[in-house]
């Protein structure tokens, strides 16, 4: 088991009130492709970030179990986290417009990730960076390496992000809505790329998204989150057998070419879902 989480809670405390954004989430991830799906505000991003301790300062994290490869991450020090971040766990953010350093060239950013964990000379790191850019299927990698992030398209920027995070050869990749900021045509390409690379390297994948059908094609297991809890956890192939009304509602309101309907059903929310126990 790469990741073991039990009863994870993330709370934000302000002067007047405390808001619990993640309310008792539990799951395990091995060398598989695991998806966390939910709408905005369901707490899926926070769950992923709490694993790497990349939450904003005011967030309070607590869990019964929070382990990576057997290492207890609860209250782990920065030096322990730094042995994990990058080297063993990669993290892809959503929008390359903001998540890439605007004043460093693409090549420099990837080379830095390489050099930090593998050492070597600057030249070797830059050559490796160019090699990685080719692995993520960027044409003319040497020229792109000299460019700045604002000079490339969104899809290319996300490929750069993937290359940067795969440089140290991690065991697990966490992708936080990697395609949400991209055009629809590019989304499938990027997911396919992630899929191929993760399979080829034998890595685990935690994919976070709000797009249920998209992830069900690429992942082995899916967790559906609502209001800070996991309401359903099943294999991707068995989605049509979903039992929770929220999941059923999500699946039902997807338009289908094969079974066209005059009116799409609307998801009716039930307040009881907020208090549902996790599976």
Q: Contact positions toward other proteins, by CB under 8 A?
A: 52, 54, 78, 82-87, 90-91, 93-95, 98-104, 112-113, 116-117, 148, 150, 161, 164-165, 168
Provide, rounded to whole angstroms, the least separation between the CB of residue 157 and other proteins.
11
Provide, rounded to whole angstroms, the least separation between the CB of residue 103 and other proteins.
5
Provide, rounded to whole angstroms, the least separation between the CB of residue 237 and other proteins.
31
- Distance between CA atoms of 150 and 103, rounded to whole angstroms? 9
Q: Compute the Cα dihedral for 180, 181, 185, 191 and give only its sign.
A: negative
Q: Which residue, 2 or 227, has its beta carbon nearer to other proteins?
A: 2
Beta pairing, strands 172-176 & 89-92:
parallel
CB 137 within 8 A of CB 156: no
Q: Which residue, 164 or 222, has its beta carbon nearer to other proteins?
A: 164
CA atoms within 13 Å, Cβ hemisphere of 31 = 9
Provide, rounded to whole angstroms, the least separation between the CB of residue 240 and other proteins.
35
CB 133 within 8 A of CB 145: yes
Spatial CA neighbour of 111 closest among 90, 129, 87: 129
In DSSP notation, 96-127 reads HHHHS-TTS-HHHHHHHHHHHHH---HHHHHH
Provide, rounded to whole angstroms, the least separation between the CB of residue 238 and other proteins.
33
Beta-bridge partner residues of 6? 65
Q: Which residue, 12 or 148, has its beta carbon nearer to other proteins?
A: 148
CB 44 within 8 A of CB 37: yes
Provide, rounded to whole angstroms, the least separation between the CB of residue 42 and other proteins.
20
- In the chain, the largest separation of any two C-alpha atoms, in whole Å, equals 63
Q: Which residue, 51 or 219, has its beta carbon nearer to other proteins?
A: 51
Q: Which residue, 99 or 216, has its beta carbon nearer to other proteins?
A: 99
Q: Which residue, 105 or 216, has its beta carbon nearer to other proteins?
A: 105
Helix (H, G, I), strand (E, B) or coil at 262: coil
Provide, rounded to whole angstroms, the least separation between the CB of residue 137 and other proteins.
21
CA atoms within 13 Å, Cβ hemisphere of 177 = 20
> In 84-203, where do the E strands start and end?
89-92, 172-176
Q: Which residue, 79 or 268, has its beta carbon nearer to other proteins?
A: 79
């Amino acid at each position: 088991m790469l990741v073991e989480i039990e009863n994870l809670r993330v709370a934000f405390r302000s002067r007047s009130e405390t808001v619990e954004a993640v309310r008792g989430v539990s799951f395990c991830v091995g060398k598989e492709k695991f998806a966390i799906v939910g709408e905005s505000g369901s707490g899926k991003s926070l769950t992923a970030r709490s694993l790497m301790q990349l939450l904003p300062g005011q967030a309070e994290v607590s869990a019964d179990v929070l382990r990576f490869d057997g290492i207890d991450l609860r209250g782990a020090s920065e030096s322990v986290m730094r042995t994990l971040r990058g080297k063993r766990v990669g993290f892809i953010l959503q929008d390359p417009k903001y998540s890439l350093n605007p004043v460093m060239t693409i090549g420099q950013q990837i080379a830095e990730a390489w050099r930090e964990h593998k050492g070597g000379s600057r030249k070797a790191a830059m050559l490796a960076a160019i090699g990685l850019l080719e692995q993520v299927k960027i044409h003319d990698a040497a020229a792109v390496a000299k460019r700045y992030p604002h000079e490339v398209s969104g899809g290319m920027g996300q490929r750069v992000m993937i290359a940067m995070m795969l440089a140290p050869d991690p065991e697990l990749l966490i992708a936080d809505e990697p395609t949400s900021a991209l055009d629809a045509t590019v989304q499938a390409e990027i997911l396919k790329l992630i899929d191929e690379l993760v399979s080829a390297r034998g890595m685990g994948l935690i994919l976070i998204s709000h797009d249920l059908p998209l992830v069900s094609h690429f992942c082995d297991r899916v967790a559906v989150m609502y209001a800070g809890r996991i309401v359903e956890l099943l294999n991707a192939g068995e989605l049509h057998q979903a039992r929770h009304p929220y999941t059923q509602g999500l699946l039902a309101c997807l338009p289908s070419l094969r079974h066209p309907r005059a009116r799409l059903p609307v998801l009716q929310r039930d307040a009881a879902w907020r208090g549902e126990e996790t599976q």
